Amino acid sequence: MDKKQLRRKILKKRDALLPAERRRKSLDIIKTIIRTDQYVKASHIMLFSSFGSEPDLSPLLKEIIKDGKHAYLPVVVKGDKKILPVEVTGLYGLTAGPYGILEPDTQKYKDVTPSLLELIITPGVAFDPARHRIGYGAGYYDRFFASLPHKVCKIGVAFDEQLVQSVPKEQHDIALDLIITDKRLL
């Protein structure tokens, strides 16, 4: 199956999960994230606003703030196909970006942010046990990871239904360090 076919198949499966099921599974994912050494040790953490049927990480954002850590959400710059991490202190003041995903105000973007990041909670469409990832097909995260000045821990999060035996990978695809689903940590 090529990337395009796999995206279609897995998104259909994810969209079929009931909202209550997605909420419960999202909480299970968050419980596992906050128990990892990588989370405990990190002070600057980027996560994402849930889009469509993605896991809902808003309780994690609250936890990060409660734990006295810094939280960042991505802002998409469509022309440059770039992601900018912007610090947030809560879920307020977010507005829909070019893909309809809730984003913080770009005015608050500071150039120094990327070098501070220690952990990036990464969305995706499908993942495999070798921790390879496919996204929606625009390569934003591959480009973002490649642009970072240092090695950052990257945790892919997904519902267990998004795990497949093997995802197709190309030269530019950057593998993750951990995958966390509602059922396992890989």
User: Could you say which of ligand ADP, Mg ion, none residue 136 binds, taking C-beta under 5 to 8 angstroms by partner kind?
Assistant: ligand ADP
CB of 77 to ligand ADP, least distance (A): 14
Contact 42, 74 (CB under 8 A): no
CB of 178 to ligand ADP, least distance (A): 18
Strand order in the sheet with 178-180: 82-88, 70-77, 44-46, 119-122, 153-157, 178-180
Question: Nearer to Mg ion by C-beta: 57 or 167?
Answer: 167
What binding mask, one character per residue, do residues 83-122 give for Mg ion by CB under 5 A, x or -? ----------------------------------------
Angle 58-66/19-35 helices, nearest 10 degrees? 30
- The footprint of ligand ADP on residues 68-107 (CB under 6 A) is none
CB of 154 to Mg ion, least distance (A): 13
Question: Nearer to ligand ADP by C-beta: 89 or 147?
Answer: 147
Structure tokens at 128: 């495999």
CB of 46 to Mg ion, least distance (A): 18
Phi, psi of 46 (to 5 degrees): -100, 135
- The footprint of ligand ADP on residues 108-167 (CB under 6 A) is 134-139, 142-143, 146
Question: Nearer to ligand ADP by C-beta: 32 or 135?
Answer: 135
Distance CA(110)–CA(134), nearest Å, equals: 28
Contact 33, 25 (CB under 8 A): no
SS3 content of the chain, % helix, strand, coil (to 5): 35, 20, 45
Residues in the site for ligand ADP, rule: CB under 6 A? 3, 134-139, 142-143, 146, 170, 172-173
Residues in the site for Mg ion, rule: CB under 5 A? 142, 173
